[in-house]
Amino acid sequence: EFNFTHMTMTGNFQVTVNALRFPTYEGLGAGTAGGLMIREDLTAGARNAFLTLTADQGVLFQNRTTKAGSTNVNTPETIGTSTTTWSDVRDQLNDGKPVAFRLTRTGDAITAEYSLDGTTFKAATGSPVTLTGLAKSVEVGLGITAATPDTGGELRVSEMILRDLKVTPQ
Instruction: For 27-86, write each residue's pLDDT tens digit.
Output: 555 667 788 999 999 999 999 999 988 777 778 899 999 999 988 887 776 654 444 566
To the nearest 10°, report the CA torsion of 90, 76, 100, 165.
-110
Of 159, 144, 164, 119, nearest in space to 1 by CA: 144
Pairing of strands 137-145, 109-115: unpaired
Looking at residue 157, what DSSP letter applies? G
Is residue 12 over pLDDT 50?
A: yes
Looking at the DSSP assignment, which residues form a beta bridge with residue 85? none
What whole-number distance in Å separates Cα of residue 3 and Cα of residue 159?
Answer: 15
What whole-number distance in Å separates Cα of residue 47 and Cα of residue 44?
Answer: 9
pLDDT reported for residue 96: 82
H or E element at residue 113: strand 109-115
What whole-number distance in Å separates Cα of residue 72 and Cα of residue 93?
Answer: 26
Instruction: Name the pTM for this structure.
Output: 0.84
Is residue 153 over pLDDT 70?
A: no
